[in-house]
Structures are given as C-alpha cells and as structure tokens.
Amino acid sequence: MLVPMLPLVLLLASQRVQGLRQNVTLAIILPQKNTDYPWAWPRIGPAVERAIRVINSDAALLPNHRLQYFFKSSENKAGICSETIAPLMAVDLKLLHDPWVFIGPGCSYSASPVGLFTSHWDVPMVTAGAPAVAFDKSVYHSVTNTGPTHKKLGKFALRICERFQWREHVLLLFNDNKVDDRPCFFAVEGLFTELGKANITLVDMVFNEKQLPVNYSDIIPDIHQTGRVVFSCCSPDVFRQMMVRFHQAALLPQKEYVFFYIDVFGQSLKDTQNKPWARGDHDDPVAMEAYKSVKILTYSEPQNKEYKDFVSHLKSDAIKNFNFTIDDSLMNIIPGGFYDGLMMYTHALNETLTASGERPPGKKVTEKMWNRTYHGALGADPDWHVEYPEPFCVVENSTTTIPCSFTHPVVHKKTDVKHRVTRVVWCPDHNVCWGTLSNVYDSWNVAADRWNVTADSRFVYLGDRVGNCTLQIIKTLKGDAATYRFRFVTNANGYTGEKGVRITVTSKCYF
C-alpha cells in the first residue's frame, strides 16, 4: 500500500517547493490582430514571452517569484485602437487579477486613460509605444516609456534647425484624418512643441489625404508662400506626388528650400531599394530630381550584437508561437523596447522587494526605472548624454531636487577599454564644469566611498556613477539661482551636458 502512495508524496513536496515562488502578474493591453501597428500583439508577444522565460529561468533575477501574464485587446470591432475599450479592459484586469504591472497600451489614445488609471491605482505601466508628447510625468507618474518618443523627434528637428540657423519660414505639413491613432498629428506635435519653445517661427498646415483627389493645386502654392524648411508627414505615395508637382511648378530655385520627410519606420525605403522616388513610371526622372532636396527622418536601427540576436529570436518565436512572419524592419525596435522595459521592470522590482517578498508600492518600483541606464536589446552602446528637467522655480529657503540622468558608451571605440566613471561634478553658470573652482559638488573632494559632501554643505549628490546624477539643494538661497550643469569623467574620457537646467529662486513661485 505504501508504494502507490510514493508518487503522491513526491508531487505534494514538489507543489510546496513551487509554492515558494509567488506569482507576479502582468496585465497586457495591446492590439490583438491589427499588425499594421508596431505594437500589435503578434509583434510584441514573442518579445514579452521570451523575456518572461529568461526571467523565470534565472532565480537571481527575481528570487522566489515568477512572472505570469493575462492579455486583453485594445481593439474595437473595426480593428483599431480604442480609447474606450482599453480602459475598460484595464479595469477588468485590475478587478480580476490585481496585476503588479501593466504592459502597454501602445496607441497614444488608448494609453492616455489607462495611464491615468494606473497612476491612480499606484501600479507601474511600461510601454514602448504611446509616443505622444502629452505623457508628462507630473500627470502620468506611473508610466515608463522604453521606446522612441515624438518629444525626442522634436528635439532632433530642433538640433537640425539650430545647426543651420533656421529661425523662420519653417512649415509643418501633415496628413490627418482625425481617426485611429493619428500618427502624423502626434509626430508633428513633437516638432511643434520643441521648435515653438525655441521661438522658431513656424506654420502648421494640415490636409486629409483620404479625401480624394488630394488638392495639390492648393498645397503647392501654400508651401511656396510659407515654407523654406518643410517638415512633412504623410503616406510615401502622396509625398512623392507632392514633390513631383512642386518641382514641376518651378516656383523657387531648388537651393532655396529643403524638405524633411518624417518616416520614422522607413516605410518609403522598404520596397524601393533605398530609392524612395522610384515607382517605375514616367514620373521617376522628375521625382528623382525633386528628391535631391529631400532628407528622410527615420529611427536609427541599433547595430549592436544584442539587437541582432534579439531580432533573430523575435522572428523564430513569432513563427513558432504566433504563426506570424516578422520581416526586417525598423518596427522591430518597438518589440525590443518592450523586451527591455520588462527586463528593467524586473530589476527595479527586485531592488524594491522587501525581505519578506511582499509587493512594494508601485511608485517605488517606477522611481527605480526612471533616470536609469539599462543595457539590453536596444541599449548596448548608448551615446554620451545628460538629461535635465525643464527650467523651474524654487521657493527661497526650501529644499529642491534636480532630477538628472546620464549615459555613455560601454567601451571606448578606439581602444575597446570599458568606460568606468571616476568623477562626477555639478557646477553653476559654467559651460563645461572644467577648470573652475565654483563647483557645488565634486566627488574628488569627498572621502573615499562617500557620495554626500560634508555634513554642512547644502548641495547633496543623490546619484551614482552608473546613470543617476540627481542633485539636492537644501535651504535654497536667492544666490543659488543659476544654470546648473553636470559633468562626469571616465577612465578614458569626460563629458559635460552643456544644455544645463536653469533654476530661479524667489519668495513665491507661480505654476
């Protein structure tokens, strides 16, 4: 009688061991079937499931815990992202499964109400979509975006204008039919916001390419009258026809204008062998000549080995587990962002779990993800950069914090020596924080292994040597008003974030 009982005893013992690993539930909200979206589930699912397998197979990543997920679609009956369906699915998932984190949504209109809910619930939300500029951290304080955003696109456009000293006659020309997720509207919004803040004179002009025929006879004269630097967003065929018509009109010498075609996923280059003007028709010669004045703005595809390996796994997993074929495309950056986002969430969760393994407050986990450098599928070799907040006001005699993050390449490009930060400096009103005695914080003046300056100093470094450069100012004085800049030095190089952040100190701030 004892022999038949043995498998049962072993099974119960196995269940007890398994029971030691608490489930961490992910709630995923993405488009289920419409693969035109870069964040559609057949594209993102393979990346998420691979990340879960990696995390659950490595006990050191999340000790005594394992990930599981529940999925809901953000599509309506027409197969497009819905700002109504997505929040309803979020409520269902919250009530049924009480998730630790939401993954997605990807569409901006869907992500907005879900982001407000997750902020209210104190549940982290991780996405590599939702690129619109409106996702301000002061409102969406649970949202972490690990993908490309239109704010960064706007900053890139600003750099172009500043580089060539273009301060006026900038035209934002875009298609918008006010349905679905309005990709061109949100892309151009990023440019409108950043160029506007820099006081660059610009005009925005919208048309609806779905209302056929497209009225080029009105668009071409408007370009001539208002624009010399034209940023345009529309379908590749409409943009090509626009350039053909503009060139044929010969309203201006070709050297008098430049067009930037916003095509973040490189769709115009996909089937044309890098000849976006080519269609094999009688307009090809004119189009080729017209495109001599065109620059195409796309995302930059990562070239690191980690990304190439990731895409290879993404393709095979999509075929095997989702019966979906993923082509080589810049869209694969988005699954990479979701993969890195989930891995980064896991590290942040691990760092905030209590000794008893109890679920930490969502805010604590989110704070661990912000201002952090993670070297994953997309970020194996970051550029030199310091990220500051926008200028802000501080009330005199109060304590304030300057959030700050920095990145640097993993290795020196010429010597292959791994970069290691050896010194960090904060200074006021100095362009490079070098060769000056006015530093408010310098780690070289601090005792070994101590990150705070002496106890009587009002400037406290809250950062580290990895990617966080946050500075705290205690009992601010009016004399503290300045533009503060951060500099870090590695064993091979040094870099200063020259933009800095301007702080005003007054008796009363108006927000």
Q: What gap in Å lies between CA 152 and CA 89, rounded to an integer?
A: 30
Of 31-35, 284-288, 362-366, 428-432, which range is least confident?
A: 428-432
Residue 441's domain spans which residues? 385-506
Does residue 124 surpass a pLDDT of 80?
yes
State which amino acid sits at residue 224.
H
How does pLDDT run across 22-72, given as a tens digit for each residue?
999 999 999 999 999 999 999 999 999 999 999 999 888 888 999 999 999
How does pLDDT run across 387-399, given as a tens digit for each residue?
888 888 999 999 9
Average pLDDT, stretch 250-264?
90
Check residue 260 and give its pLDDT: 97
Burial of 291 (0-12, 13-18, 19+ CB in 10 A): buried
Average pLDDT, the chain: 88
The reply to whether 103 and 232 lie within a common domain is no
The reply to whether 361 and 409 lie within a common domain is no
Residue 79 falls inside a structural domain: yes
Q: What gap in Å lies between CA 426 and CA 483, rounded to an integer?
A: 10
User: Are the beta carbons of 109 and 181 closer than 8 angstroms?
Assistant: yes
pLDDT band of residue 453 (cuts 50, 70, 90) is very low
Q: What gap in Å lies between CA 494 and CA 482, rounded to an integer?
A: 23
**Secondary element (H or E) of residue 29:** strand 22-30
The reply to whether 396 and 310 lie within a common domain is no
CATH number for the domain including 336?
Answer: 3.40.50.2300
The reply to whether 314 and 365 lie within a common domain is yes
The reply to whether 313 and 445 lie within a common domain is no
User: Are the beta carbons of 484 and 471 closer than 8 angstroms?
Assistant: yes
pLDDT band of residue 417 (cuts 50, 70, 90) is confident
CA 59 to centroid of chain Cα atoms: 29
pLDDT band of residue 446 (cuts 50, 70, 90) is low
Residue 21 falls inside a structural domain: yes
Which residue in the block uniquely carries the two structure tokens 């608490």? 22
* 98, two tokens: 């009480």
Q: How many domains does the chain have?
A: 3
Burial of 339 (0-12, 13-18, 19+ CB in 10 A): buried
Q: How far is CA 456 from CA 112, 443, 474, in A?
A: 44, 16, 10
The reply to whether 349 and 395 lie within a common domain is no
The reply to whether 274 and 208 lie within a common domain is yes
Q: What gap in Å lies between CA 243 and CA 245, rounded to an integer?
A: 5
Burial of 454 (0-12, 13-18, 19+ CB in 10 A): exposed
The reply to whether 180 and 101 lie within a common domain is no
Looking at residue 443, the DSSP 8-state letter turns out to be G
Helix (H, G, I), strand (E, B) or coil at 476: coil
Check residue 281 and give its pLDDT: 94
Residue 5 falls inside a structural domain: no
Of the candidates 421, 461, 422, the one whose C-alpha atom is nearest the C-alpha of residue 440 is 461
pLDDT band of residue 237 (cuts 50, 70, 90) is very high
The reply to whether 119 and 161 lie within a common domain is no
Strands 392-395 and 421-428, sheet pairing: unpaired
* 340, two tokens: 């890195």
Strongest mean pLDDT among 17-31, 107-121, 304-318 = 107-121
Looking at residue 468, the DSSP 8-state letter turns out to be B
Helix (H, G, I), strand (E, B) or coil at 26: strand
Does residue 456 surpass a pLDDT of 60?
no
Domain-ending residue, one of 297, 319, 346: 297
Average pLDDT, stretch 265-269?
92
Q: What gap in Å lies between CA 153 and CA 193, rounded to an integer?
A: 11
CA 351 to centroid of chain Cα atoms: 22
pLDDT band of residue 511 (cuts 50, 70, 90) is low
State which amino acid sits at residue 74.
S
Question: Residue 73: what are its φ and ψ, rounded to 5°?
Answer: -85, 145
Number of neighbours of residue 506 by Cβ within 10 angstroms? 13
CA 256 to centroid of chain Cα atoms: 34
How does pLDDT run across 125-179, given as a tens digit for each residue?
999 999 999 998 889 999 999 999 999 999 999 989 988 899 999 999 999 988 8
Secondary structure, 3-state, 197-250: HCCCCEEEEEECCCCCCCCHHHHHHHHHHHCCEEEEECCHHHHHHHHHHHHHHC
Check residue 449 and give its pLDDT: 35
Q: For the sheet containing 202-207, what is the strand order?
A: 202-207, 170-175, 229-233, 258-262, 294-297
Residue 411 or residue 253, greater confidence:
253
Angle at 437 between CA 436 and CA 443, to 5 degrees: 95
Task: Say what percent of the chain tops pLDDT 70.
Answer: 91
Of 23-32, 201-210, 238-247, 490-499, which range is least confident?
A: 490-499
Does residue 305 surpass a pLDDT of 70?
yes
Q: What gap in Å lies between CA 131 and CA 111, rounded to an integer?
A: 10
Check residue 92 and give its pLDDT: 98
